[in-house]
Structure 1
Amino acid sequence: MKKISFAVALSLLLVGGISASADEVTYAGPGGLYQELMKKTTFDPAKTKYGLTVNLDNIKSIADARMQVQSGNPTWDIVEVPEQQCRSAEADTLFENIDYSLVPNAADLPDNLKGKNWIGGFTRYAMVLVWNKKTYGANPPSSWADFFDVAKFPGTRAMYNQPRMMAELTLLGDGVDKAKMYPLDVERAIRKMEGFRKNITVFYETYGQATQLLANGEIDMMALTNGRASAIAADYGQFAYTLNEGIADNGCLAILKGTKNPKAAMKALNAFIDREFQANIGAESTYGPVNPKAFDVGTISAEKMEQLPTYPPVLEKMLLLDAGWWAKNEVDVVPRWLRMMQK
C-alpha cells in the first residue's frame, strides 16, 4: 500500500474542508412553525439529494438584511421576505444577481416569480373570508360582496389593520373586477371603507389576535390568512372559510450581496424550489407551493390540492396581489389609509 505524505494528506483535508463549507449556507426566514415546516420538507431532504447543509436564523424585515450587507461581513447567505420587499430592493445593491444557469429548477416557475436578483419562494398564502357556521348556518357568505352586505349577513366583523390586501378586498366587495384591480383605485377603497368601518368590530393587529377573536366567539366573520383559517376550522369545527376571491401573496428568496458562498447559495436556491420538496410543503400544510410542477409529483392528494392557493383551479378564483405595485405605492397609500381610519 502506498503511503500518503503529510503534505498531500493536508492538501486533501483542505480541499475536503473547502468543498464541505461551499455546500453549507445560512438561511434567515420568519422562524416559528413555518421555518420548522421548511426544515422538514426542504432543508433536511436537501442534505441527502443535494449534499447541502442549511443553517437557520430569523429575519424580521429587509432592514435586517440591509444591516448585514452594510457590515461588510454578512453571516446570512439567503433571506426570505415578502415579495414586495424584494421588489423594493430590486434596484439596490442589496442582493446578488441570480445566475439562472445554476438554478435549473427555476425553469418550473412562472416568469413573474423570476426576478433579476430574487425568486419566488417558498410558498404562497391567501387572505380569505372565514365565518362562524353557527351564525350563518346553511346560507354562509361566499364573497367579499357578502362580507360588506350587513343586511343579508348581519354579525360582528373584523379586518386586518393595514391597507395592503384590505384595500383589494374592499374593492372586490365594491364590485371591482379582479382583472382590472391594478392600479388600485385607492380613493374608491377609502370611500367604501369610510362608509363601512362602523360595521367592523375589531381592526386586529396580529394574526394571533384574529384567531383568538374567533375562538372566543367575539367575531362572526373576518378576513384572515388561509393557514390560520384552516387551523381554526380544524381545531374548533364551527368555522369555515372559502378560497374564492382570496388575495394571494408569496415570499421571495434572495442572496445577500457579499456572501462568502455564492455558488452554494445558488445551489441552495435551486434546491429550495425543487418540485419534490415543494410537493412536500403542499402535502404537509395549506401553504401553496410556488412551483406549479409540485402538483405533478403525486405527493399531494386531490383533496388537499383543493385547499392550496396555488393549485391552478383554485388560483383562477383568486386575486394575485401585485407586489410590484405595492412596492412603488405603499409609502403613499398607508398614510392616506391611516388618516381615513382616524377620522
Structure 2
Amino acid sequence: MKKTLILTTALCGMAFGASAQEVNLLSWGGAYGNSHLEAYAKPFTAETGTAVNISDADNPATPIKAMVEAGNVTSDVASVEYADAVRLCDEGLLEEIDASALEAAEDGTAATDDYIEGGVTDCFVATDVYSMVLVYNDSQFEDAKPATPADFFDLEAFPGKRTMRKGAKFNLELALMADGVPADEVYATLETAEGVDRAFAKLDSIKDEVVWWEAGAQPPQLLADGEVSMAYAFNGRIFDAVQQDDQPFEIIWDGQIYEMEGWVIPMGAPNMDEALEFIAFSTAPANQARAAEFISYGPPRRSAAAMVGNIQGTEEPMGPNLPTSEENMTNALGSNLDFWVDYDSELNERFNAWLAG
C-alpha cells in the first residue's frame, strides 16, 4: 500500500486550519480513486472542515484485514468489493454501520429503501455498480471485430495476447459464458465439480497467451502499449483511458459481469464519528450521481440514477457508458455475491494451483 495524497484544500487550510479532525480513506487509486477525491473528499472537506487523507491499495480488503489482525488500524473508511465486505464482516474485522444515519432520498424515501438489493448490509454501504468487461484495441483489428465472450477465447480469429485479472472470480464465469453456458445458469454450473472443471478447461485454451494483472491500471496500459490486443478489465478504467488519453479502445458489453463496491469501517478505526459522517455525506444521492460523472460506474441508489449528468468536462451524457444502462444490460450477469462468499477461498486455491501448474 502506498500513500498517494493528502487532502487539505486551500479552503480547509484557511477556514479550518486549527481543526484536528480527519478521515483516513483507503481507496484503489487511478481513475476510480479520483472520483472519490472529486465527488466525495473535496466537497466533504469544504463542507465540514474535516481533512480526508487518501491512500491506495491494489485491493484495500487485504491491508484492512492485516491491520485489524495486527491491532494497528490506521484507516477509518475503505472501499471494498461486496464479497470482501461480507467476508470481513463475518470474521469480525469490520464495525457495524447504522443505516439510519444515511441520508434519505429527496422525496423522503429511506436510504435502505432507495438502494438496490444488497446495497446496505450490516457492515457495508454501496457507492457504485461497476462491471468487468471485455475490451479490445480497435487499431489491432482491421476487419472482423470481436463482439462476444467466445471471441475473447478465439485466438485464431482474433489473434494477440489477452490480459485478465489474477484470480478465480470473474474469470470462471467468463469462461463458462464463452463456452456456451447461458448467463442465468453460470452459478448453478459452477456449484458442480464438472462445471468448475469445464471453466478451467476453457481457461486452459488461452492460458499461454494471458498476461495476468493485479492492479486496475494495468489493463489499459497493456492495451495502449500493444502488449495485448484484448483485455478483461474494470469498465471505468477503460472509459477513463478513452476519455482522458483518447485511446482506441472498444468495450464489449455482451457478457459483462457487474457488482457493487462500497464503504466499510475497519474494526477499531481511530476516527469513528468522522468515518460515519463521511459515509453519510458521500452516499447521499446527489453525491453518488456526481461521482458517476467522473467515472462510468452506476450509482446504486435508485434516486441517484436520474441525477447523473454529462461526462465531467464535456457535453456528452454519461448514461450510455454506465453498466446499469438498459442497452448495456442485454446479456449481463450479476455477480452472485453469496456464491463468492462461500466459494472464494476454495476456488482461488484451485486457481493458484492451476496457474502454477
TM-score surpassing 0.5?
yes
In structure 2, how many angstroms separate the alpha carbons of the residues matched to 1:254 and 1:175? Answer: 37
Structure 1 stretches (4+) deviating beyond 6 angstroms?
Answer: none
Is 1:336 equivalent to 2:350 in the alignment?
Answer: yes
TM-score (norm. length: structure 1): 0.80
The 5 A counterparts of 1:190-205 are: 190-198=200-208, 200=209, 202-205=211-214
Q: CA deviation at 1:305?
A: 0.7
**Which of 9, 16, 30 is residue 28 of structure 2 equivalent to?**
30
* Residue of structure 1 in register with 2:146 after alignment: 141
- SS of structure 2 residue aligned to 1:112: coil
Unmatched segments (≥5 aa) in structure 1:
1-16
Q: CA deviation at 1:41?
A: 0.9
**Which of 165, 172, 178 is residue 167 of structure 1 equivalent to?**
172
Is 1:119 equivalent to 2:133 in the alignment?
Answer: no
Name the CA shift for 1:313/1:293 in 2 (closer, same or farther; >3 Å): farther
Contact 1:27 1:54 in 2 (8 A): no
Q: CA deviation at 1:256?
A: 2.8
Contact 2:224 2:247 in 1 (8 A): no
Q: Rg larger in 1 or in 2?
A: 1
Name the CA shift for 1:54/1:312 in 2 (closer, same or farther; >3 Å): farther
Query: Could you list the per-position Cα deviations for residues 285-321 of structure 1 after superposition, in whole angstroms to 9, with x for gaps in the alignment?
Result: 2233333322212534773211112335434542222
Contact 2:259 2:334 in 1 (8 A): yes
* Residue of structure 2 in register with 1:311 after alignment: 325
Name the CA shift for 1:52/1:172 in 2 (closer, same or farther; >3 Å): farther
In structure 2, how many angstroms separate the alpha carbons of the residues matched to 1:201 and 1:80? Answer: 28
**Which of 161, 179, 183 is residue 184 of structure 2 equivalent to?**
179
Name the CA shift for 1:164/1:155 in 2 (closer, same or farther; >3 Å): same
* Residue of structure 2 in register with 1:40 after alignment: 38
* Residue of structure 2 in register with 1:280 after alignment: 290
In structure 2, how many angstroms separate the alpha carbons of the residues matched to 1:91 and 1:324? Answer: 12
The aligned amino acid for 2:52 is N
In structure 1, how many angstroms separate the alpha carbons of the residues matched to 2:348 and 2:183? Answer: 21
Is 1:251 equivalent to 2:261 in the alignment?
Answer: yes
In structure 2, how many angstroms separate the alpha carbons of the residues matched to 1:329 and 1:277? Answer: 34
TM-score (norm. length: structure 2): 0.78
Q: CA deviation at 1:274?
A: 1.2
Query: Could you list the per-position Cα deviations for residues 171-199 of structure 1 after superposition, in whole angstroms to 9, with x for gaps in the alignment?
Result: 1101111122224232210122224435x
Q: CA deviation at 1:63?
A: 4.4
In structure 1, how many angstroms separate the alpha carbons of the residues matched to 2:341 and 2:22? Answer: 32
**Which of 128, 135, 142 is residue 130 of structure 1 equivalent to?**
135
Count of residues in Structure 1 that have an aligned counterpart in Structure 2 = 320
Is 1:211 equivalent to 2:215 in the alignment?
Answer: no
Contact 2:146 2:158 in 1 (8 A): no
Name the CA shift for 1:298/1:227 in 2 (closer, same or farther; >3 Å): closer
Name the CA shift for 1:203/1:268 in 2 (closer, same or farther; >3 Å): closer
The aligned amino acid for 1:110 is I
- SS of structure 2 residue aligned to 1:182: helix
* Residue of structure 1 in register with 2:97 after alignment: 98
In structure 2, how many angstroms separate the alpha carbons of the residues matched to 1:259 and 1:216? Answer: 41
Q: CA deviation at 1:48?
A: 5.2
Name the CA shift for 1:316/1:54 in 2 (closer, same or farther; >3 Å): farther
Q: CA deviation at 1:217?
A: 2.6
**Which of 213, 233, 238 is residue 229 of structure 1 equivalent to?**
238
Contact 1:290 1:310 in 2 (8 A): no
Name the CA shift for 1:143/1:268 in 2 (closer, same or farther; >3 Å): same
In structure 2, how many angstroms separate the alpha carbons of the residues matched to 1:266 and 1:256? Answer: 12
Contact 1:65 1:256 in 2 (8 A): yes
Query: Could you list the per-position Cα deviations for residues 92-115 of structure 1 after superposition, in whole angstroms to 9, with x for gaps in the alignment?
Result: 322222212111443321131211
- SS of structure 1 residue aligned to 2:89: coil
- SS of structure 1 residue aligned to 2:323: coil
Moved more, 182-191 or 59-68: 59-68
* Residue of structure 1 in register with 2:7 after alignment: none
Normalized per residue, the structure richer in helix is 1
- SS of structure 2 residue aligned to 1:306: helix
Identity within the alignment, %: 24
In structure 2, how many angstroms separate the alpha carbons of the residues matched to 1:320 and 1:102? Answer: 28
- SS of structure 1 residue aligned to 2:318: helix
